[in-house]
A = this chain, B = another copy of it.
Amino acid sequence: MRLAVAGCGAVGRAVCELAGAYGHRVTALSDSTSAVASPNGIDVETVLGRKTEEGTVGDDDPASLPEADYDVLVEATPTTLGDADPGFTHVERALARDAHVVLANKGPVAERYEELRAAERESEGEVLFEATVGGAIPVLSTVADLGPENVTAARGVLNGTANFILSRMAAEGLGYEHVLSEAQDLGVAETDPTFDVDGTDAALKCVILANVLSEEGATLADADVVGITEITPNALSLAAEDGRTIRLVGEVVVGDGNPSVRVGPRLVPTNGTLAVSGTKNIVQLQTDHAGELNLSGRGAGGRETASAVLADVGRLS
């Protein structure tokens, strides 16, 4: 397949680097200020070298990306809330010309799900977004296989940064601020970690799961979200005395009508399934016929997320 990749952060770069090994070709790439396109495939190494050295991928306008030659638009620009732009506009323009869309950007799926599905219905193109929930972990493909109507609830640890911070605080008895700055030094937390530590990122993933399970078009505003910034070493040591620890747990329960979406710190057994350590993520699915399924692995990272993007591209082939 010919891929147009919007976004040249860790995920966009990794998609470009791995595409060839999966039998695909990148025919266009954009970052926030520039773009490059070539119908026979861009020279990935040269373009990414230019990005590293000069900060731009080419001389074109990034707004021109959706008009390039491609079969699949890979939307990997940063997640934005509310109107979810520029991601949503990229997706809309790709679908309008009957191309497929694969999203790593959570915004359009979490904030404008109904419009996204409506645009897909009008198009010959299909929309897939495995990478938006749990990075490399095959959550959405498993839900699709089970049949969304057979999944009654989903629960999990869906933010690696928050999980790293809680794991380190519990293991070392250190305070939140101390561990956060350590995580920033290690590159595990971003300079602005707000979405990770206030629960927004985990909530967006839960909203996407809720949308897939219910087709009710929930948004972040429908989620009940608490972050980890108020967790103290004392709370963690009290939990430990009781054989428990604290994890930032997201939960989607489907019933009649709107699903409930909640994210917040929860006590979990220290050796229990949800007590994954470090940056690992886990998702538990409760199903009607298949019992409980647990899926865990790397929930973030450029190559890991790119692997989920390319699995979606493979499904469209």
Contacts and interface: CB of A to CB of B under 8 A. Distances in A.
Interface in A1-53: 14, 18, 22
A314 interface: yes
Nearest to A293: B297
Nearest to A270: B271
Interface string A275-317: 0000000000001011111111110010110111011001100
A210 B59 CA distance: 48
B138 A138 contact: yes
Interface residues of A, number: 36
A10 to B, nearest CB: 13
Contact of A289 (B137, B273, B294, B307): B307
B290 A293 contact: no
Contacts of A138: 138, 141-142, 145, 293
Contacts of A291: 136, 297-298, 301, 304
A55 interface: no
A102 to B, nearest CB: 13
A146 interface: yes
A258 interface: no
Contacts of A181: none
A199 to B, nearest CB: 24
A237 interface: no
9 closest Cβ pairs, A-B complex:
A136-B290, A145-B311, A293-B297, A290-B307, A291-B298, A289-B307, A271-B271, A294-B296, A289-B303
13 contacts: A136-B287, A136-B289, A138-B142, A138-B145, A145-B315, A147-B310, A147-B314, A287-B307, A291-B301, A292-B297, A292-B298, A293-B295, A295-B295
Given A287-B307, A292-B297, 8 more contacts: A136-B287, A136-B289, A141-B142, A290-B297, A290-B298, A291-B297, A294-B294, A294-B295
